[in-house]
A and B are shown apart, each in its own frame.
Chain A
Amino acid sequence: MRKVAAIVIASAFFAILLISFYQIPQSGYSGSEYYYSNPITGSHANESVPSHYISGTKNETGAVNAVTAIVVEYRGFDTLGEVTVLFTAATGVAFLLHKGKGGKKRAEANLILREGSKLVLPFILLAGAYIFIHGHLTPGGGFPGGAVIASGFLLMMLSYPKFFMKEKPVSITESFAGITFAVIGLLGLLFASSFLENFLPLGNAGYLLSAGIIPVIYIAIGFKVGSELSSIADKFKEVQK
């Protein structure tokens, strides 16, 4: 009975979503119906927000990757928030699971897995670092880069049952990366006019050293996400019985 009710509700919900999906107007970015209004001055612009993102990215932020420009510059405050969500989750996991170490012995992984993972670990870490350092030039950025790094450590945890993340360096990395992000935001308040505003020279778009604060923030995010995700995985491994 419950199952039938669940199926009925789920399919009704699915139908509603499908119908509304077909109702979404398919028009593109341009067109004057998407003008926006500025709440502070009360003026109207004849451009939609997405088209502003596409046309303004290079001049306003110096980044080539528009997604990065949106994530770190236009909506950088949201990114600070999202990093904090992950930080909160990692802290919560550590808070709830920090008791009970050890656990049952697991068999050693076989030779090929052990040596192979030792061999690929540096390359995984390198790929992660590449992804977050080049966030303003190529697809990717702090979150994916950090996740790739964490998956490298995860590989080590899987192939070596005795592999542990040392708690202290991980939590110090995490803290310093977070502090860097927040302090850059506050420096923006100090040197420029608002929180998280760019205060470094933009440089030539397309070069590694360009786009002002974006690479700095993305490196901080990369370290932070990497250390947080690997510490979450490590905490779950630690309490295994």
Chain B
Amino acid sequence: MIEFTIISWIMALLVIGAAIYAIETKDLLSSAIAAGVASLVVSIMFLILQAPDVAITEASIGAGLTMAIFVYAIGKTGRWEK
């Protein structure tokens, strides 16, 4: 069980780190990618918590589609936060 605890802590720290980076960075493109990373790690956490249904959805929507839509929107506006 101890390894699950360690993995969960690492994942939690990764999610928090990615989330803070997504908010703080001035580069919107890396912000979108960081949000995607957070989603991906969350989906792995769902898998560890035995919720495969949610994990599939989170991986394809959170890490895939949402990020692509963000990137398209950034392409339409501008890459740098003012």
- In the complex they form, whether A and B have CB atoms below 8 Å apart is answered with yes
Let me know if A215 is at the binding interface, CB within 8 A.
Answer: no
| Cβ A144 vs Cβ B56 within 8 A | yes
Shortest distance from the beta carbon of A174 to any chain B beta carbon, whole Å: 16
Q: Given that A240-B76, A241-B76 are contacting pairs, would A144 and B60 also be in contact in the complex, using a CB cutoff of 8 Å?
A: yes
Q: CA–CA, A68 to B75, complex, Å?
A: 38
Which of A52-60, A177-185, A196-204, A230-238 interfaces with chain B? A230-238
| Cβ A144 vs Cβ B53 within 8 A | yes
Residues of B within 8 A of A150 (CB): 60, 65
For the A-B complex, the count of residue pairs with Cβ-Cβ distances under 8 Å equals: 51
| Cβ B64 vs Cβ A151 within 8 A | yes
Residues of B within 8 A of A67 (CB): 53
Q: Given that A147-B60, A240-B75 are contacting pairs, would A232 and B69 also be in contact in the complex, using a CB cutoff of 8 Å?
A: yes
Residues of B within 8 A of A129 (CB): none
Q: CA–CA, A212 to B72, complex, Å?
A: 41
Which B positions have Cβ atoms within 8 angstroms of A?
52-53, 56-57, 60-61, 64-65, 68-69, 72-73, 75-76
Q: CA–CA, A151 to B57, complex, Å?
A: 11
Residue of B whose beta carbon sits closest to that of A157:
B68
Residues of B within 8 A of A151 (CB): 60, 64-65
Q: CA–CA, A233 to B69, complex, Å?
A: 6
Q: CA–CA, A233 to B53, complex, Å?
A: 23
| Cβ A139 vs Cβ B52 within 8 A | yes
Residues of A within 8 A of B60 (CB): 144, 147-148, 150-151
- On chain A, the number of residues with a Cβ less than 8 Å from chain B's Cβ atoms is 23
| Cβ A140 vs Cβ B56 within 8 A | yes
Residue of B whose beta carbon sits closest to that of A154:
B68
| Cβ A144 vs Cβ B57 within 8 A | yes
Q: Which of A32-76 contact B (CB under 8 A)?
A: 65, 67-68
| 8 intermolecular pairs with C-beta atoms under 8 Å apart | A65-B53, A139-B52, A139-B53, A147-B56, A147-B57, A147-B64, A232-B69, A236-B76
Q: Which of A209-241 contact B (CB under 8 A)?
A: 229, 232-233, 236-237, 239-241
Q: CA–CA, A241 to B78, complex, Å?
A: 11
Let me know if A143 is at the binding interface, CB within 8 A.
Answer: yes
| Cβ A131 vs Cβ B75 within 8 A | no
Query: Per a CB cutoff under 8 Å, which of A131, A233, A240, A241 touches B65?
Result: A233
Residue of B whose beta carbon sits closest to that of A138:
B52
Residue of B whose beta carbon sits closest to that of A106:
B75
Residues of A within 8 A of B72 (CB): 233, 236-237, 240
Q: Given that A237-B72, A239-B76, A240-B72 are contacting pairs, would A147 and B65 also be in contact in the complex, using a CB cutoff of 8 Å?
A: yes
Residue of B whose beta carbon sits closest to that of A144:
B56
Q: CA–CA, A154 to B71, complex, Å?
A: 12
Residues of A within 8 A of B61 (CB): 147, 229
Residues of B within 8 A of A144 (CB): 53, 56-57, 60
The 8 tightest CB contacts between A and B, nearest first, are: A139-B52, A144-B56, A236-B72, A147-B60, A144-B57, A151-B64, A139-B53, A147-B61
